[in-house]
Amino acid sequence: MQSCKNRGSRLGWILLLSGILCGAGLADDGTKGKDTPAATEAAATPKAKASVTSHPEPGLTERERWLLDRVEQLERRVAELEAKEGKPSAEAAASAGNAAMSGTAPASPAAVTGAAPGDGMPGAGPGPKQNSAAPNSGIVYSSSAAAMNVSPGIGPKQDGDKPSNPVPQTAAKIEPFSDADWTWLNGNPRTKEIFWDSKFFTPEIRADINYVYDFNHPDDHSMGGSSELFRSNEVQLEQLGVGGDFHYDNVRARLMTQFGMYSATTPRNDPSPGHGQWDLNTAYRYVSEAYGGYHFNVLHGINVDAGIFMSYVGLFSYYNFDNWAYQPSYVSSNTPWFFNGVRVQIFPTAHLKIEPWFINGWQAYGSANHRPGLGGQVKWTPKPWINIISNNYGLGEDDLFIKGRSRIHTDNSVEVKYYDKPDNAISKMAFTLTGDLGCEYGSGVSCYGNHKGGPKQSFVGWMGYNRFWFHRDLFAVTVGGGQINNPGRYLVLIPPINGEGAISAATNSPYFTGNPGDPFKAWDSSFTFDYMPRQYITFRWEYDYRHASVPYWTGKGGITPPGGNNGAPQYYVCSSGASSGQLTLPAAEQACGGGMSSVWFPDLRKNESFIDMAIMVKF
């Protein structure tokens, strides 16, 4: 029965086609001379022309013979499809033949792959933001519906006498760094989905809460030498950030707040507000990112932004949720987290970013002197398993009250994912390696050692981390550490002794000096365990050990004078807690009235070890 139906269907189709051919023959008879032999020859394929020559039939025009030959070919093809796949394929072939003869083409679901995204994708420009770390299906989107690529039929024209012009296709470009899953990177968030988004605004919310147990047991619970951990034996809100990305009509902006410890600890490391008026520390205290700009649709995108933006010098992100470890090593913790200035992000390809900066200075709200800083980043991802980043800085004069002393610095990192088996017990493994070199020169210091230019003032450091993911990335373990050598101590974080900050230390830091040539060497190591039940939350436990060549870390006695800070950290403190008003120790001993015992000293140690626990959330 099925065979009869197939033969009947084929016979009916052939009869219908024969009727059309007869009509075509009559039409040909009435329009002789309009289709020249040359035109017919051009229209026929070589295979069709051979068939016409080998099967001449008297009484038919050349066009009729060609059409009959095409019918025979279609019939053979239908039979082959029936034999190979059965009735559904035969009916599909017949339907395709009917569509072709009628001048229409069936809509292809595969042609309409998805809605075209907005002008801006991750890092490229405005539009509904897609997480830059999210995996991508590899689909290349086109900004025009012409990408559907539906071929015109061979039947009658659809618009009367107007010719049917083909619609030009728009060249499709993938958005920068969107064709691979980059959630494994150190410094990248691992969130892949967002609950709510719009054409105008993409929200972002972050919360970071920690508890630190310091084995030095400082009486005043105060820690130094870190840009991430500040109080021991207490639960502290590190950061509460609320904001997001605005994007419309190629115009873009980003705002992220910082409430909690970051709003006090980050500004105190910037000496530039000491240059002039208007209290820049207060003006910017509660903002971690704030910039606006424009996206140009050239190459793979060009962004021009101005304001406060993240630097990523030292690889780690300012936001701990994005990182493999909570306390990064020195080449990250002691280098800039943000810049205030102008950046231009140029994407020549989907895997390369060139980003020059014109900035106020080295992690500076303002300029410490009269010369701004220049720098930039180059980011290259030649393969989905490797990320190469180079950050460079120069020209700026970043030492407050010291004119003519310039700083240069280079920071270079590579990240490699060398194992990726999602279904295995160990699902991923990756490592990072970072190396930094820098120096200061002029006004009594030199990059090249002790000579007439002054003592050597330089920075050499490295850090490396290896991370293991388990059970489909539910758990992770990271081990790592690093080392620095920084004579002159210009990048060593000043311990907050008696409330000391970068501005007061530029005048004098009596208990931890930063004079040209002062030695400082340090190394550290850490072990981190993460539990990640959802992509939006991380529970972290970490052990850190840190060592310095000179007393630096807070000991049992603490770093707070008796009675609390006295408001004059640039001077030595008397044992009573009062300020001596003196910059040198002999003068302080005399002012305090009792020799060495009359002067208070902080308890500083060469070693520090602690356990930190954190809950970090990002939406």
Mean local confidence (pLDDT), 530-553: 97
pTM: 0.72
Is a pLDDT exceeding 70 seen at residue 113?
A: no
- pLDDT at position 181: 93
Mean local confidence (pLDDT), 11-20: 44
- pLDDT at position 59: 60
- pLDDT at position 167: 56
Nearest to 285 by CA among 268, 265, 263: 263
Give yes or no for a contact between 427 and 489, defined as CB atoms under 8 angstroms apart. Answer: no
Other beta carbons less than 10 A from residue 179's beta carbon: 18
- pLDDT at position 463: 98
Give yes or no for a contact between 326 and 540, defined as CB atoms under 8 angstroms apart. Answer: yes
Say how far apart CA 604 and CA 553 lie, in whole Å: 5
Mean local confidence (pLDDT), 288-317: 95
User: To the nearest whole number, what is the mean pLDDT of the chain?
Assistant: 81
Is a pLDDT exceeding 50 seen at residue 498?
A: yes
Is a pLDDT exceeding 50 seen at residue 516?
A: yes
Is a pLDDT exceeding 50 seen at residue 44?
A: no
- pLDDT at position 32: 37
Indicate the burial class of 127 (C-beta count within 10 angstroms; 0-12, 13-18, 19 or more): buried
Q: Give residue-wise pLDDT tens across range 55-94.
A: 445 566 666 666 777 787 787 877 777 776 544 444 444 4
Q: Which amino acid is at 211?
A: Y
In the block, tokens 């039947």 appear at 155
Cα torsion 501, 507, 508, 509 to 10°: value is 20
- pLDDT at position 73: 79
Lowest mean pLDDT among 27-31, 126-130, 136-140, 520-524: 136-140
* 80 against 462, higher pLDDT: 462
Q: Give residue-wise pLDDT tens across range 476-493.
A: 999 999 999 999 999 999
Largest CA distance in the chain: 131
- pLDDT at position 312: 86
Is a pLDDT exceeding 80 seen at residue 475?
A: yes
Is a pLDDT exceeding 70 seen at residue 370?
A: yes
pLDDT band at 1; cut points 50, 70, 90:
very low
DSSP conformation letters of 340-381? EEEEEEEEEETTEEEEEEEESSTT-SS-SSS--EEEEEEEE-
- Which one-letter DSSP state was computed for residue 587? H
Mean local confidence (pLDDT), 15-33: 40
* 21 against 421, higher pLDDT: 421
- pLDDT at position 4: 40
- pLDDT at position 58: 55
Say how far apart CA 409 and CA 359 lie, in whole Å: 14
Mean local confidence (pLDDT), 218-227: 96
Give yes or no for a contact between 491 and 335, defined as CB atoms under 8 angstroms apart. Answer: yes
Say how far apart CA 548 and CA 552 lie, in whole Å: 7
Secondary structure of the chain: what % helix, strand, coil (to 5)? 20, 35, 45
- Which one-letter DSSP state was computed for residue 227? S
- pLDDT at position 131: 40
Distance of CA 560 to the CA centre of its chain: 40
Query: Which domains does the chain carry?
Result: 2-104 (no CATH), 201-559+602-618 (2.40.160.10)
- Which one-letter DSSP state was computed for residue 591? H
DSSP run (H or E) holding 440: strand 426-441
Lowest mean pLDDT among 94-103, 177-186, 261-270, 534-543: 94-103
Is a pLDDT exceeding 50 seen at residue 97?
A: no
Is a pLDDT exceeding 80 seen at residue 157?
A: no
Percent residues over pLDDT 90 in the chain = 67
- pLDDT at position 453: 74
Say how far apart CA 525 and CA 465 lie, in whole Å: 10
- pLDDT at position 108: 33
- pLDDT at position 166: 56
pLDDT band at 141; cut points 50, 70, 90:
very low
Say how far apart CA 532 and CA 536 lie, in whole Å: 8
Percent residues over pLDDT 70 in the chain = 74
Is a pLDDT exceeding 90 seen at residue 562?
A: yes
Give yes or no for a contact between 387 and 133, defined as CB atoms under 8 angstroms apart. Answer: no
* 343 against 16, higher pLDDT: 343
- pLDDT at position 448: 84
Mean local confidence (pLDDT), 35-44: 35
Is a pLDDT exceeding 90 seen at residue 201?
A: yes
Is a pLDDT exceeding 90 seen at residue 271?
A: yes
Mean local confidence (pLDDT), 529-533: 98
Is a pLDDT exceeding 80 seen at residue 124?
A: no
Is a pLDDT exceeding 80 seen at residue 545?
A: yes
Mean local confidence (pLDDT), 559-564: 96
